[in-house]
A and B are shown apart, each in its own frame.
Chain A
Amino acid sequence: MAKNIKIAAGAGVFLFMILAVVPWLLIKTGRGDLMSVLTSVALLSVISSGVWLTFFIGRINIGQGAYALMGGYVSAILVVKYGVLFWWTLPLAGLFCAAASVLIGLPILRLRGVYFAMVTLTLTEVARLLAQALSITNGPRGITNIPPPGGVEFFGLTLIPDFAELENLRLGFYYLAVVLMILCFAAMWRLVNSRLGFLCRSLQQNEELASSIGVNIGYLRVLAYAISSFLGGVGGAVFAAIVQSIYPATFQIQESVNFMLYCFLGGLSYVFGPMLGTLVLYMGWDLLFKTGAYQLLIFSSTLIVLILFLPNGLLSLRLPWRK
């Protein structure tokens, strides 16, 4: 019981920090760039948490970029070509990706280990080439005239303001991203600690054994992969709205690899691993920008040292004042 209260208190402090203290501090100090970086971190961690979920069922997923790209395109096409309100396209993009991932996942989820990793890596490239070849995606020219998200009113009550008229657009996107991140990780936390989560964990450890005691492994795998792709699609859609454009090259193999690295760095056995991993890797690069030509050298050396000492992720670090 006391444990639950402690968790609730901790979560409360964390929410208060990122919803009130951090934005207040950033506005006070006028650090718009930092707010924008944190927005990206929040979104990238949502996308990476999808990758984490596939790790959770024992699959190395290097194909999340494909779903982020797909989600971005679905949202962009609906908004630009059909005039659908952005807020509706958000779940639609996610659902579209989830549906696509079921079709793709059914055959490829039978693969394991590096084979699954490589097939998903190929998937990212297939998505890019497909976006380049199709005409609904505007081919190599991309979609470059995406408007900011519109407002939502309910009987004259503004539920969501029109982003185009926001005085501080950065703050708008910050809240959007952070709220998505909170929802995503809360759901993930719930999922992992539910019956479903324990079944997934059994998949990670031994699929044959799980199957022999009556776990429907095929269904579980596809379900986890669909949730993962849903998150990728939603994240990609918001990104397209922030930069108001999407190209076939917006999410490439390098991004897919990065999503995987965020999970590794945070720690594969921690739900919040992707969040921390994204924060450190993504923001680390930004902090080093003054080092010019040596940026990549310092960045990669630090990364290697981190892995050497914490091969199981940053969250495996035991703080000295705790047991």
Chain B
Amino acid sequence: MQNIKKLALAFGVASTLSLGLAPVANAAETLKIGFVGVTSGAKAGWGISNVRCMQTRAKWVNDEGGIKIGDTTYNIEIVTWDTQDNTTRAKEGMEKMVQEGIHYVIGPNTDPTAAAVRPVAERDGVMYFPYAFPKELYTKPASNAVLGMIANYQSGPAIYKYLKENKGVKSIAFLAANESDALSQREGGIQAAKALGLKVLAQDAYQSDTRDFAPAVTPIVKLKPDLLVLSGVAGGTAPLIIRAARELGYTGLMSAETAQDAMQLKDGAGDLANGFISVGGASTPEIRSAMMEEFIRRYTEDHGQYDDESNTKVYAMEYILETLKANPKAINDVEEFKKTMDTLSVPNPYMKGDRKLEYVGLTSFGQKRQVGIPMVVTEYQDGEFQTLFVTNVD
């Protein structure tokens, strides 16, 4: 009895509290953009670079007096939600975004959490930009997810082909963390390698909490592959693997299909990371526009240090803003947004030359559900990325 009363009391207090925290509806000229992703725990790096991109860009826009969409000028407000890389929390986060009246959300960062937010987002009209690769998210009947980066099944073939033709790579080995995202990417990489006629020597996995990689890379080093691909590797883990493999005498090439951070590579592996190949957006000084330099400057000013993963992650928000500018009706109507996605074509402000922001993905998903980011394949050299080649995804 006593306990039941206490329970009722707690329920009451909790509901009152959360009702009290309900948003005040004065958002006449505030454009809210949401983030649902992981910003704590082992994978915090992935989400934090997203959030910081969004916050930097929002502050920049607001400093300049807001963004004009149609006849109204909006200030941007970023609403963030930490999923703790947990599916239930992720679903709750998307519900919260719906409640806040948000129609455009960036994230989540992993396969399970992206799948978990899908029912809510599809049902309640939220466009979300996951950094997860499963094709079911982007192919029909799903229509509200937009892949925020280049998938490894798109960049992998291009990289392997380049290395096969230019560096004489004939054999290849894959190493991935023993978890859904990385294993799926390893599978995609193996298919791409086989299609190119490369010999797959190894497909190994390590436990995600590994810190000393010598036991995991020893068998691969013995096989002497021409190329070692780190599938779905996190920015913090790559330098550890590179260092372990090089110290054990591995001399072949190494590459990753996820964005990496030059500072972490330098810090963790030093010169041993030279020649490491990865993919980025506006990553290298040769291709960056003045606006990208300004973005990096503001980012560094706001958050202490820059993160090269943001070279790719800067784009999702820009796509949302540009699409809204092109079609002001989309601000509260995602169907309008989808219509404009098929036709949008505006200059890419972060790159030199006449590159365009256009949604892509027809080949991979049968509909334009991917942000078009120039695929800049880079090579790490003494603390900086250098451009190997640039192509596009269709």
Contact = CB atoms under 8 A, between A and B. Distances in A.
B315 to A, nearest CB: 23
A99 interface: no
A290 B89 CA distance: 15
Interface in A218-250: 239, 242-245, 247-250
B386 to A, nearest CB: 33
A282 to B, nearest CB: 8
| A132, A139, A243, A270: residue with the most chain B Cβ atoms closer than 10 Å | A243
Contact of B112 (A11, A142, A314): A142
A131 to B, nearest CB: 10
A295 B110 CA distance: 21
A132 B177 CA distance: 12
Interface residues of B, number: 54
B22 interface: yes
A34 B4 contact: no
A295 B123 CA distance: 29
Interface size of A as a range: 35 or more
Given A17-B11, A33-B96, A248-B180, A141 B80 contact: no
B10 A279 contact: yes
B36 to A, nearest CB: 10
B17 interface: yes
Nearest to B91: A243
A31 B99 contact: yes
Contacts of B73: none
B96 A275 contact: no
A248 B86 CA distance: 12
Nearest to B84: A254
B87 A243 contact: yes
Interface string A26-65: 0001011110110010001000000000000000000000
Interface stretch (B114-122, B194-202, B258-266, B273-281): B114-122
Nearest to B179: A249
B7 interface: yes
25 contacts: A10-B1, A10-B4, A22-B11, A25-B15, A33-B96, A36-B120, A37-B18, A129-B178, A141-B180, A142-B115, A239-B88, A243-B91, A245-B87, A248-B180, A249-B87, A249-B112, A270-B3, A279-B7, A280-B10, A283-B18, A285-B89, A287-B17, A319-B2, A319-B6, A322-B2
